[in-house]
């Protein structure tokens, strides 16, 4: 079956996936240039991600969607197991949002151009002023009633387990007094982990779990610290045992300010 799946990828999934990516980028850029950023900044990408999972025959199961309130703006924080996390979240979150992503993704052909046109948030770490500009953009998006998706680990895992979270998203949620929704991703590490970029896709089902939103219990470093640690525990609580490499994993806390 493995070799049949690779033949299918070569003849069907990869060619059609590339064509779909180019078409999606074109539609996104043109639509955003014509002033339809709210629609074209989300729906073409959502359809692209959903279809990419279908093209690669990867099934996805979603749990806990009932926790989310219609019309509520959230900061979603998810573990980052592999490249297919993007397809899973984009295709199945079912809520207009913007990504907070690494600056290096801007250089991906077609995808980077579409992300720029749709005003996704690139985190430029080449200096404090650039970082602050990125967070100002995120702040405007959240204040406008849209949601934000962040991978607080900062990069994909090497083991499948959850690494320590960075504090930026939680400080932003604290400042704006918005609820944080922890998300657990399972299976993406088996499909295409960080160590196998640009290799064959491995067939494996995906699971996306929404946890109960964490509403602010105050404002300031204590609230941000509590939300970050509670988010980490929630994400890891639904992680499949085979990915839990370190049973004593502890979240690094936000220092006192």
pLDDT tens string 18-29: 999 999 999 999
Q: Give the helix/strand (H/E) hosting 150.
A: strand 147-150
Model confidence, pTM: 0.91
Q: Looking at residue 202, what is its pLDDT? A: 95
Give the separation between CA 128 and CA 118, rounded to whole angstroms: 24
pLDDT value, residue 72: 94
DSSP 68-89: SPTT---EEEE---STTHHHHH
Band of pLDDT at residue 89, cut at 50, 70 and 90 = very high
Give the Cα separation of 214 and 227 in Å (integer). Answer: 7
Q: Is 65 helix (H, G, I), strand (E, B) or coil?
A: helix
pLDDT of residue 257: 37
Residue 16 above 80 pLDDT? yes
Give the chain's mean pLDDT: 91
Q: Point out the least confidently predicted range of 7-16, 76-85, 104-113, 216-225.
A: 104-113
pLDDT surpassing 70 at residue 251: no
The 10s digit of each residue's pLDDT in 109-132 is: 999 999 999 999 998 777 778 888
């Amino acid at each position: 079956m493995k070799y049949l799946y690779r033949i299918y990828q070569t003849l069907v999934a990869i060619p059609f996936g590339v064509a779909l990516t180019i078409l999606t980028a074109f539609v996104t850029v043109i639509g955003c240039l014509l002033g339809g950023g709210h629609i074209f900044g989300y729906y073409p990408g959502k359809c692209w991600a959903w279809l990419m999972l279908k093209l690669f025959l990867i099934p996805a199961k979603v749990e806990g969607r009932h926790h989310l309130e219609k019309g509520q703006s959230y900061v979603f924080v998810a573990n980052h197991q592999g490249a297919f996390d993007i397809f899973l979240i984009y295709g199945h979150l079912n809520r207009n949002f913007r990504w907070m992503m690494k600056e290096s993704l801007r250089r991906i052909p077609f995808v980077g151009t579409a992300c720029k046109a749709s005003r996704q948030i690139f985190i430029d770490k080449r200096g404090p002023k650039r970082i602050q500009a990125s967070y100002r953009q995120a702040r405007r998006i959240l204040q406008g009633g849209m949601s934000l998706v962040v991978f607080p680990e900062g990069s994909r895992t090497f083991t499948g387990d959850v690494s320590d979270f960075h504090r930026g998203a939680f400080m932003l949620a604290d400042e704006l007094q918005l609820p944080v929704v922890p998300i657990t991703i399972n299976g993406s590490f088996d499909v295409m982990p960080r160590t196998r970029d640009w290799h064959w896709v491995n067939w494996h089902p995906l699971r996306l779990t929404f946890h109960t939103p964490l509403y602010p219990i105050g404002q300031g470093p204590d609230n941000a610290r509590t939300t970050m640690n509670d988010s980490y525990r929630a994400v890891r609580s639904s992680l499949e045992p085979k990915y839990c490499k370190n049973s004593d994993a502890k979240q690094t806390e936000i220092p006192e300010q």
